[in-house]
Amino acid sequence: AQSVTQLDSQVPVFEEAPVELRCNYSSSVSVYLFWYVQYPNQGLQLLLKYLSGSTLVKGINGFEAEFNKSQTSFHLRKPSVHISDTAEYFCAVSLPISSNTGKLIFGQGTTLQVKP
């Protein structure tokens, strides 16, 4: 079975500072990896995904993530955050299409609080 652990429940950071949100996963087989953002009272929006290929993935809003197979990690980074980045961030995994419907298994979420 697959599982996802987000290592920080809350990350406070000042505006224009860099940020890293940490995500580790557990799986005996290869997985697809995703980061989603949820703004207050809204649904989830896909930030980026890793399916295969380059381990550095660039997403929307200046976010990027690096897949590290040996560390089983998929940490999310942004070099300079804005107040508008304040939201809940979810890391998720999925099995490849051939062996799964594509259902997502989510981590517990990390609240990013950007302070002025």
Interacting residues toward other proteins by CB under 8 A: 32, 34, 36, 41-46, 49, 51, 90, 94, 97, 101-109
For other proteins, the closer of residues 32 and 72 by Cβ is: 32
Cβ(90)–Cβ(81) below 8 Å: no
Look at residue 85 and give its three-state secondary structure.
helix
What lies within 8 Å, CB to CB, of 113 at 6+ separation is 10, 11, 12, 13, 86
Shortest distance, position 66 Cβ to other proteins, whole Å: 20
Shortest distance, position 112 Cβ to other proteins, whole Å: 15
For other proteins, the closer of residues 14 and 58 by Cβ is: 58
For other proteins, the closer of residues 49 and 77 by Cβ is: 49
Shortest distance, position 103 Cβ to other proteins, whole Å: 5
Shortest distance, position 96 Cβ to other proteins, whole Å: 9
Cβ(112)–Cβ(63) below 8 Å: no
Burial class (CB in 10 A: 0-12, 13-18, 19+), 59: middle
